[in-house]
Structure 1
Amino acid sequence: MNASSTSMGKRRWAVAAGQVPVGSSGPEPAFTSRDQFSILNTGEDSAHVRVEVFYAHRPSVGPFRVTVAPRRVRLLRVNDLIFPEAIRLGEAIGLVFTSDVPVVVQYGRCDTRARANAGFMPMGWSAH
């Protein structure tokens, strides 16, 4: 099988429904409230992904650089994006993912502010 037949996804993705919750309940790190994303790379080459974060009331931040090995998935918490600047908690954010090879991006939230934990998984939009 050649690399083009194993690659799935697109090179650009956008998610507009981010907001890392400020509070948490329960032990860390398992119960830390968070937004997170996963990047799936089904191809034969490493994916070099740039993530730009957009805020409602301040300039965008980035790029944050993420590498995903060939034929692997990488899960990251938005809370862990700290260079070039830590993501501000509790503020509305949108993210744009730009990769040098096709990838699939999924986004989710684990909100543990209340004892009854909540999950949220908006769909990403891929640009052609």
Structure 2
Amino acid sequence: MEQAIGHKVWAIAEGFIPSYGNGPAPQFTSHEAACILNASAQDANVKLWIYFSDRDPIGPYKFLVPAKRTKHLRFNDLHEPEAIPLDTDYASLIESDVPIVVQHTRLDSRQAENALISTIAFPVTSSV
């Protein structure tokens, strides 16, 4: 497929990284992730902002998703411009210079019975 699919701006309204988990790290570390598909023939330069209920946003976090590749980005691993605080509600906005597809995933391993959720992010079809 030589066709770019997706959108250039995505929103994930729900975010929360638990501060602890059960099981061996890194497989069972509680985390949030953005799974990004770049099906285009051009590398995607991606920026991510984190929004909070009680403070200004942080970001942008910048990263590359090569052409015709996928990237699973754990929010726990983001440290520049600063680490995302644990046990804090947040939302995120993802912007790319080429169309991408974004899926949101959370592993909550605070209990021995792990919970995994996954949703498609909200695609923004007009300029922000």
TM range (shorter): over 0.9
Question: Where do 5+ consecutive residues of structure 1 fail to align?
Answer: none
Matched, 1:21 2:10: no
The aligned counterpart of 1:58 is 55
User: Partners of 2:54 and 2:77 in 1: how far apart?
Assistant: 21
Judge conservation of contact 1:17–1:122 (CA < 8 Å) in 2: no
Question: Are the equivalent residues in 2 in contact too, given 1:21–1:33 (CA < 8 A)?
Answer: yes
Determine the C-alpha separation between the residues in 1 that align with 2:57 and 2:10.
16
Trace 1:6-85 onto structure 2 (pairs within 5 A): 6-85=3-82
Question: What TM-score results when the alignment is normalised by the length of structure 1?
Answer: 0.94
Unaligned 5+ segments in structure 2 are: none
Tell me the residue number matched to 2:92: 95
TM-score by length of 2: 0.94
AA at the equivalent of 2:35: S
What's the RMSD between the two structures over aligned residues?
Answer: 1.1
Equivalents in 2 of 1:87, 1:16: separation in Å?
Answer: 15
The runs of at least 4 consecutive aligned structure 1 residues that moved more than 6 Å come to none
Percent of aligned pairs sharing the same letter: 36
Checking the alignment, whether the CA contact within 8 Å between 1:31 and 1:112 is kept in structure 2 is yes
